[in-house]
Structure 1
Amino acid sequence: MAGVLTALTLALGGAAFAAPAAHADISACVGQVERELQGGEAPDSVRMACYVGLTGDQAQCVSGLTAGGVTNGTAVSACRVAPD
């Protein structure tokens, strides 16, 4: 039982350390889009598309961003930095 609890604690602790890195990746993607918006704040749909890009689904990330009005070139470059 103690071994299971130790493993669970280590797994959850590892997830906590991974979370800030994931946030930074989404921020890089959103930042690319916000630069195109020239200082405007990206809507939630952009954040969701960038999250999809973080999971590695580049095509869905690009289509989500372009559906939200982002140019294709910016969408491709933003989705490229999401999983970095």
Structure 2
Amino acid sequence: MRASIRCAGVLTALTLTLGGAALTAPAAHADITDCVNQVEHETRGGEAPDSVRMACYVGLTGNHDQCVSGLTDAGVTGTTAASACRVAPR
């Protein structure tokens, strides 16, 4: 096989791989945003601090209990924390 054909094949595969990663990345960010928005909406306290964003990220990984614990440590009520952490992994 000629080098130019092989190089074109490698570049095509790389483009498809990176394109697929770019398509899946926004979904994770949107889930964290949904969680943070839930906290901000229910607490009506303005922009959420980094501790809330970190707890929502933990919720994104599927660890609901850690997410709730992180949000309550950040001063969010238990009810709000539980509802925000439920929307994180979706």
Q: TM range, normalised to the smaller chain?
A: 0.7 to 0.9
The size of the alignment, in residue pairs, is 84
**Aligned-CA RMSD value:** 1.6
Gaps of 5+ in 1: none
Gaps of 5+ in 2: 1-5
TM-score by length of 1: 0.86
- Aligned-pair identity in percent equals 76
Aligned positions of 1:1-84 closer than 5 A = 6-84=12-90
Shift of 1:14: 1.4
TM-score by length of 2: 0.81
Task: Give the structure with higher Rg (CA).
Answer: 2
Quick one: distance in 1 between partners of 2:24 and 2:75?
Answer: 31
Give a deviation string over 1:35-76, Cα, whole Å, max 9, x none. 122141100010011011111111111110000000011111
